Structure 1
Amino acid sequence: MLNKPPIPANRPSIPIRWIVSDLDGTLLDSRQRIPPGLVRRIARFTEAGGAFTFATGRTLRSAMPYMSQLGVTAPVILFNGARIYDPVTGTYLTEHRLDPADVRRVMRLHEEDGAVRQLDLLLFHQERIFCAALSERVRKQMDKDGVVAETASPERMASLAGQATKLMLLGPESGLIRFRQAEAAAKLNTVRSESGLLEVLPTGINKSVALSAMIRMLGAEADDFAAVGDNLNDLEMVGSVRNGFAVANADPAVKDAAAHVLARSNETSALLDVIEFAESTWAPRPGLPRAD
């Protein structure tokens, strides 16, 4: 069920063949699972000619179980847009890295500012994650994402500055606010994907930029796509396409940017309504499967 008119009467329906969904807070429920009924519905959508994929802040290793569960063969946006992965060839189609100077700037700020030092700093290098210590916050985040972090000295982390995909800061809101207000962080590309977490991405990178690159690679059009999200790292992506969707539990800014706000949340399989919407734009076909 949609809170906004699904297809305005004053324009023709444009077939939506692609659905690009965020994972946490959108496709996944609070237990980090895709409900069985939604898994079956996505399978019916792809069998009928649609394509389903993800745009997530997660690493490949973290996203892979869900890719396997749904049999995703379309390109997948990872690291909040810093990489696009092709499941068919097992290779990255695009890769972006942080400016080494930005990495060192963050590390200095983390070392010198007492409030910022309260935060856990993680460095993502390829599929490995490094941090100074395995705090309870780090363990909890790694458990949620299904990955493992390794401890490393500041010198070791600094040596990886030229090959870092992103940085992550975990901790109290006061520390995150202090970090964002620091002069050294003023020009960094930062994004919030959930409470108590801030990421630093390569300059000019977000999910929308990655989606545009993917659309060009596929030789498709933006109107062929529906994009779905819930948090601020989805803001640009959801607002960049005609058929942007915000789930019921989405951040207010994401709802404002979306063309459609869903009545269901991630806990009640909001993607069911997006699939129904997409199929409603297709030409009538005998025997087309409908939503549960």
Structure 2
Amino acid sequence: MPINTILCDIDGSLMRPSSGLYVDEEIAQKIIALEEKGMLVILNSARALSGVLPLSRQLKMDHFGGYVISCNGANIKDAKTNHTLFEYAIKQEDALDIWHTILNHQLIPGILQPDHMLALKMTEGYELDAKNCHIAYNLTKQPEESLKQAVWKCTASGTKADIDRVIFSLKEDLEKRFPVKVVRSTDTFVDIIDINVDKFRSSNQLLRQLYKSWDEVSAIGDGLADLECMKAASYAVAPANAQLAVLKVADQILPSCDENGCLVWLDELLRK
């Protein structure tokens, strides 16, 4: 079955991690050329929605159609109609308990709602998130006063050394007490999402809703969160900077994201 859909991780795959809202223009033009030929584009990211929608517009997905999966699968939106197809939220009372649990592990807690992030204070990880996801941060010691919307994810941030020291105990503590899963997204940033959420489940649900199979999909990814999508896709590619487990399942290893290695993949798709 011919490939007619590309599933794209963003940070570490289409661009260098934490390098802003937009991909290099050469990459954008290649993806637009694929869309002009009928390719469906799905962006599949750990970023907050506000960090993915600007990229979808750069890629003209609001014109051609396409889908945005954000927060590691917590929200799925139609890029053309701006309609939310489905979302998975954490209960507000659980989010508050998770906040205090993160504090007990000496990390800085955060709670993501649709239009802003609550955080105790800014960290390097949160500074990068604010920049890359173009999201407003509300700093507070009393999150319950601002918790008025759906909770798409909770977060924990700190230095790499801080997170290295507590990540396993934090993960065990949270996953034992709450219906969540803990995903380390970067060296300085941890995502806590609903237990039913991950990139593969949300991608699979979207494809089923679109009456598509994985045989029609080519996927690019670099992290463990991308692994199951890579295994399921008809053709999977990974940049050289990807984690070892991802490199092992890739059908093709590209130059690193620092070298815009995804261009090799996009050129192959255009030729085919």
Give the TM-score category using the shorter length: 0.7 to 0.9
Cα deviation for residue 57 of structure 1 reads 1.3
Q: Which residue of 2 aligns with 1:144?
A: 132
Distance in 2, Cα, partners of 1:244 & 1:89: 28
TM-score where L is the length of structure 1: 0.81
Q: Which residue of 1 aligns with 2:254?
A: 263
- 1:262 counterpart letter in structure 2: I
Q: Which residue of 2 aligns with 1:273?
A: 264
Closer/same/farther in 2, CA of residues 155 and 250 from structure 1, 3 Å limit: closer
Residues 239-261 of structure 1, C-alpha deviations (whole Å, 9 max, x = no match): 222322222110112222x3323
Distance in 2, Cα, partners of 1:101 & 1:237: 32
Partner of residue 66 from structure 2, selected from 46, 54, 74:
74
Closer/same/farther in 2, CA of residues 148 and 155 from structure 1, 3 Å limit: closer
Distance in 2, Cα, partners of 1:149 & 1:130: 6
Q: Which residue of 2 aligns with 1:176?
A: 167
RMSD: 2.2
Residues 63-114 of structure 1, C-alpha deviations (whole Å, 9 max, x = no match): 1221111101211111111111012211100111114454244223224x2x
Q: How many residues end up aligned between the 2 structures?
A: 261
Q: Give the fraction of aligned pairs with identical amino acids, expressed as a percent.
A: 20
Distance in 1, Cα, partners of 2:68 & 2:143: 33
Distance in 2, Cα, partners of 1:146 & 1:95: 20
Cα deviation for residue 143 of structure 1 reads 1.8
Partner of residue 126 from structure 1, selected from 73, 89, 114:
114
Q: Which residue of 2 aligns with 1:26?
A: 13
- 1:24 counterpart letter in structure 2: D
Does residue 198 (structure 1) correspond to residue 195 (structure 2)? The answer is: no
Does residue 96 (structure 1) correspond to residue 96 (structure 2)? The answer is: no
Trace 1:1-292 onto structure 2 (pairs within 5 A): 14-29=1-16, 31-32=19-20, 33-72=22-61, 73-100=65-92, 102-111=94-103, 113=104, 116-117=105-106, 119-156=107-144, 159=147, 163-171=150-158, 172=162, 173-182=164-173, 184-186=174-176, 188-256=180-248, 258-279=249-270, 282=272
The structure number with the bigger radius of gyration is 1
Partner of 1:246: helix, strand, or coil? Answer: strand
Which residues of structure 2 form unaligned runs of 5+? Answer: none
Contact 1:55 1:78 in 2 (8 A): yes
- 2:126 counterpart letter in structure 1: V
TM-score where L is the length of structure 2: 0.86
Which residues of structure 1 form unaligned runs of 5+? Answer: 1-13, 283-292
Distance in 2, Cα, partners of 1:92 & 1:211: 14
